[in-house]
Chains A and B, each alone.
Chain A
Amino acid sequence: MTDWVEKQRNILDFTLSSLRRRKGRHLGMLAVYAAIVFLLASVMLFSHAIKREAAIVLADAPEIVVQRMVAGRHDLIPGAYADRLTGIRGVAAVTPRLWGYYYDAALAANYTILVPTDQAVPAGSVVIGGGVARARGAGVGDTLSFRGYGGEQFFFTVAEVLPHASELVAADLFLIAETEYRAMLGIDDGAYTDIAVSVRNPREVVTVANKIIAALPDTRVILREEILRTYDALFDWREGLMLVLLTGAVLAFAIFAGDKASGLSAEERREIGLLKAVGWETTDVIAMKVWEGAAVSLAAFLAGYLLAYLHVFHFSGALFEPVLKGWAVLYPEFRPAAFVDVFQVLTLFFFTVFPYTVATIVPIWRAAIIDPDAIMRS
């Protein structure tokens, strides 16, 4: 056993010297390889962390949201619908809600304007999210003015800025009193944006949802489970733009790596010939190439993964910000909660290290079984 280990260490010594002799070629390869692993690992870590956080944070989202649909679009729902919902067996509570969007033309930013149901914001006051405060340069006690639907100005004194740590759910929130919401947006009394429904027995949610649709056919019902599933699918690396970008990058790398790993240069062939001529066995030559593949791919995995971890959890995924921000003026400043899936890391390790290592074996085996004299003469 000790002999075998010593032999492998000698082969590894020789392999590393050989790599060092062609360091320009191998460092270039390593940089591209590590960059691909970094990109894949960053997407993987970021999307997993957001999904887990969404599952925890949105676990107490409304159990059922009832929207009224008119000509295929979400429309205001009459308060009378709430009374009909209250009469459905299994329904525990019905809460008509007022919320919507406000486009701030001065900043070209969209706010989510909402009337809290559990606490009254005093008339003339507003509670704002961190993103709104940043965009408007506003703090507690400042006065903000907004144009209503009829052109008149509304003035609000900032009563509270929601904590910075809440930006992932509340960066663009703008909480005001019901009277001002209706006056500013021109919503009649008795009309609401949607209705939140809670159910007595959680196992009866689907049954209650079906009863709601039967009782109010012009409504659409959104279950909490659907909300959670939406965020479970969000940023799925198998979806959308990520797929296009990553597939292109990975395919380009696969061709590059396959070419580098499987094609032997004349110099390498001569080296193999010399090694065999001085007494190396075919298995030793293969072991040398396996060590080379393992060294390059392991270094790429370690560098790529560790940089990706720092990028996502210590630098808030800064490279993703322009992509996530899109054309939005308001963007939440947040650092994903550090949820790391060990299984995902192991999968990344496996698919990073093994294919490259194996890809190096086939051509070297072909070269290693040829007569050394023929290799050196070719």
Chain B
Amino acid sequence: MRNSTIALALATLGLTAVAATLLDATLRRHAEASDLRDRADLVRRYGLTDLCLFTEARYTRHLSQTDLHAPFQDHPVSLDHFPSGSLVGPPPGWRDHD
């Protein structure tokens, strides 16, 4: 078989697989829709404000509720020493003050 035939077949297969990921994502979302609803219900029931992504420090656990200077408040020249602090960008709007 010609090299070009194999290459074109592989490219078609690969692009079909990319399209299949979109289909897979849609099917998974439908299959897990009730889980998503349950999470939203829990947020409504308990009045939760944040995702539980980083539990290492209070200002990373509740990113939306934290004091503006929370990572630096423990003592003068106190730098943010929790790793997740460097993953999360500043909230939008803060840089507008610059």
Contact = CB atoms under 8 A, between A and B. Distances in A.
A370 interface: no
Nearest to B15: A302
Contacts of B49: 58, 61-62, 65, 222, 227
Nearest to B94: A233
Given A172-B61, A196-B47, A340-B22, A229 B42 contact: no
A74 B67 contact: yes
B7 A16 contact: yes
Contacts of A302: 11, 14-15, 17-18
Contact of B92 (A54, A167, A229, A327): A229
Contacts of B93: 229
B56 A328 contact: yes
Given A60-B44, A61-B47, A230-B64, A295 B7 contact: yes
A65 B50 CA distance: 12
10 contacts: A112-B61, A129-B52, A163-B38, A169-B42, A173-B46, A222-B65, A235-B88, A238-B89, A324-B87, A345-B22
Nearest to B62: A112
Interface of A: 9-10, 12-13, 16-17, 20, 50, 53-54, 56-62, 65, 67, 69, 72-74, 95, 97, 101, 109-112, 114, 116-119, 129, 131, 162-163, 165-173, 175, 194, 196, 222, 226-227, 229-236, 238-242, 295, 298-299, 302, 305-306, 309, 313, 323-324, 326-332, 337-340, 342, 345
A232 B53 CA distance: 14
Cβ-closest 10 pairs across A and B: A239-B89, A302-B14, A326-B83, A338-B25, A328-B56, A16-B3, A165-B35, A60-B44, A338-B28, A227-B64
B96 to A, nearest CB: 12
Nearest to A59: B40
Give the contact-size bracket for chain B. 35 or more
Nearest to B69: A72
Given A110-B55, A324-B84, A331-B55, A169 B17 contact: no
A169 B89 contact: no
Nearest to A331: B55
A49 B61 CA distance: 19
Contact of A116 (B43, B46, B89): B46
Given A57-B39, A119-B45, 6 more contacts: A110-B55, A226-B64, A234-B63, A239-B90, A337-B29, A338-B26
B3 to A, nearest CB: 4
A260 to B, nearest CB: 20
Nearest to A130: B52
A73 to B, nearest CB: 6
B25 A340 contact: yes
Nearest to B2: A13
